[in-house]
Amino acid sequence: MGGSSVKFELKTLGLASGLLAGFVWIGAAQAQEATLMIELNRVDQQSEACRFDWRITNRTTSRIDDLTAEVVLFDKAGVNIARMAVPFGKLAASKSVLRSFQLRPFDCGLVGEALANDVTTCVADPALDCVSAIAVSSKDPIPLTR
């Protein structure tokens, strides 16, 4: 009788662990969905200008009427070389857009890292904590950090 009791407790513990893991996974998936994903998609030298292509995905239920982020650029040694306000503009809920922004005159080859430093403007309906909602990534060799 003692052996079957242990099996039952272990099965119950296994089931509870599985349910807990499932809830954690669902919570992580929901948290991932409720983000403003800012991706540094491409950095390209164009004559004297450096063009930054940004893909922004609004995975929230809020309509963003105006979003501007402060991005700081660092050289390969980690020294701040530029600071820019990037106007992403309007973002519909559950939609992705591509925005381009140029610095001129500027040499793209100087950039070692981009930092999404702050959100300077965020007008959303319903209201949204844009700073907390932002997640970042980069498809370009230059990393975008937060």
HSE of 136 in the Cβ direction (CA atoms, 13 Å)?
21
DSSP state, 59? -
Residue 130 burial by CB count (10 A; 0-12/13-18/19+): exposed, middle or buried? buried
Looking at residue 31, its pLDDT comes to 41
Which is it for strands 49-58 and 63-75: parallel, antiparallel or unpaired?
A: unpaired
42 contacts 54 by C-beta, under 8 angstroms: no
pLDDT at 26: 38
Write the burial class of residue 121 (CB in 10 Å: 0-12 exposed, 13-18 middle, 19+ buried): middle
Q: Looking at residue 2, what is its pLDDT?
A: 56
Which residue numbers in the chain have pLDDT < 70?
1-33
* Tokens matching residue 119: 């959100």
Domain-wise residue ranges, the chain: 1-33, 36-145
- How confident is the model over 62-94, as pLDDT tens digits? 999 999 999 999 999 999 999 999 999 999 999
CB 101 within 8 A of CB 54: yes
What is the CATH architecture of 36-145? Sandwich (2.60)
